[in-house]
Structure 1
Amino acid sequence: MPTRPTPPPTPPPSAPKQRRGKRSAAPPVAPPAGPPPGWQAPKGYVPVPVRRRRRWPWLLLLTLACCCGCPAYYGFPISAQYPVQAALPAQVDDLKLRQDGRSAEAARQLEKEVRGEHLLAEGTFAGVYSTSGGKQVTVFGGTGFRWSPESDAEAEISRLTERYALDAPEVVDTGVRGRHERCAVGRSNGGDVVVCTSVDHGSIATGVFTRLSVADSAALLNTLRAQIIQPKA
């Protein structure tokens, strides 16, 4: 009986072909090796964990301060000083409002002038006050929104410089944020006077004072404007 031939050996299976364009996965990285067995830290060594600084809370606080704090800082004086209204009281301390014809006519002329110089004024006022001792104060001004009180105060003193032959104006610290005041010494009707103007975001008030120093004139103007100018109800 003939012998059957032995079949050739089967070749081993070939490895699957790797697709072009894809890299083989990197082998996993072994975690850092710990200290060898029996290792002891040197005497006095204290391990300090390294903390990663988190900056986002500070950035968040800074953003909130810029978005909320700045508008509040600049907006508070405006809301406190505008809108307002003006009315002349009959008496302020020892000063009495003069109602005679000459004083009333002078007040009307001043109020007309204020209206012409401050076209955007919402209201105007003017009056002449005096004391039994002969001290006289003429006050005039207007109400209405003002974006730049400091510039308006300088402009008002500059406008009155020629009329009252004013010296260089002095800056007066009002102690009120958003309110600026200037005072200067001059002459009127042959006598010395002090002219002060006080401007904030809602009003302008100017006073011409006789027989008073610059400091006393500035203080009295603040007293007068506190009585004349009031927030709108």
Structure 2
Amino acid sequence: MLLLSVACCCGVPLWWIQPLSSQYPASATLPDQLDSMRLRQDRDSQSTAEDLKSRVRQADWLAEDTFAGIYTTNDGKRVTLFGSTGFRFTPESDAEAELKRLTDDYALQPSVTVDTGVRGRYERCAVGRADGDTVVVCTSVDHGSLATGVFTRLSVDDSGRLLNDLRQQVVVPKQS
């Protein structure tokens, strides 16, 4: 009985707090190259990225840092990546709220849940439109960050996997 009491009193809180402690605090850095994609450095792309960072800051004024960048591949696929770092107590509802915030900008259809395989991280994707093209907008939120990607010429499944891969390279937990 004593063992059961200790397991319940100590084990359950440790199990619950583990995602928080492993995901927060975090930092984000956009490298010049992600896999086969290159960060666009032209004036229009940088202006768009600054606008996205400003919008993220307006939507999440408690964010510790914001990031945004536009990547392209040699075959013309475009990935816009933006988000913020900072503590998030309810990542699942934050993922839903982020897509709701972007619904008008991208004429998003209802979103679907994407399995991340990471406890405490929630990802949702929705199909929409941008500049006359079909896009997939995915957002991935954990207790230390929010990352959103806008993908051209990719399926929902491929977009979800790519966002998961990109966020692992861009958003990293800070070491204590």
Q: What TM-score, normalized to structure 1?
A: 0.74
Cα distance in 1 between the residues matched to 2:147 and 2:53 = 12
Corresponding residue for 1:69?
11
**Do residues 168 (structure 1) and 113 (structure 2) align?**
no
Spell out structure 1 runs of 4+ moving beyond 3 A: none
**Which runs of 5 or more residues in structure 2 are unaligned?**
none
- Structure 1, gaps ≥5 residues long: 1-58
Partner residue, 1:207 = 149
**Count of matched residue pairs:** 175
Q: 2:79 aligns with which of 137, 144, 159?
A: 137
1:16-38 Cα offsets, whole Å, 9 max, x none, are xxxxxxxxxxxxxxxxxxxxxxx
Within 1, Cα distance between the matches of 2:174 and 2:116? 22
Aligned to 1:188: 130
Deviation at 1:170?
Answer: 0.2
Aligned partners of 1:118 and 1:103: how far apart in 2? 22
Shift of residue 61, structure 1, vs aligned partner: 2.0
> Aligned with 2:127: secondary structure?
strand
* Counterpart mapping for 1:26-105 below 5 A: 59-105=1-47
If each structure's strand is expressed as a fraction of its own residues, which one has the higher value? 2
User: Bigger shift: 119-128 or 223-232?
Assistant: 223-232
> How far does residue 66 in structure 1 lie from its aligned partner after superposition?
1.4
Deviation sequence 1:42-70 (CA, Å, 0-9, x none): xxxxxxxxxxxxxxxxx212211111111
Amino acid at match of 1:178: G
Query: Is the counterpart of residue 106 in structure 1 residue 48 in structure 2?
Result: yes
1:163 deviates by 1.2
One-letter code of the match for 1:159? R
Residue aligning to 2:62: 120
* Counterpart-to-counterpart distance in 2, 1:116 and 1:168: 24
SS of the equivalent of 2:89 reads: coil
Q: Is residue 2:102 matched to residue 1:157?
A: no
How far did residue 98 of structure 1 move? 0.3
- Show CA shifts across 1:176-203 (max 9, x none): 0000000000111111000000000000
Matching of residue 221 in structure 1 with residue 166 in structure 2: no
1:232 shift after superposition: 1.6
**Two-structure CA RMSD over aligned residues (Å):** 0.7
Q: What displacement does 1:231 show?
A: 1.8
Q: How does 1:1-12 map to 2 (within 5 A)?
A: none
- Rg (Cα) greater in structure: 1
Is the partner of 1:178 in helix, strand or coil?
coil
How far apart are the structure 1 equivalents of 2:174 and 2:18?
Answer: 16
SS at structure 2 position matched to 1:177: coil
- Give the superposition deviation at 1:230: 1.2
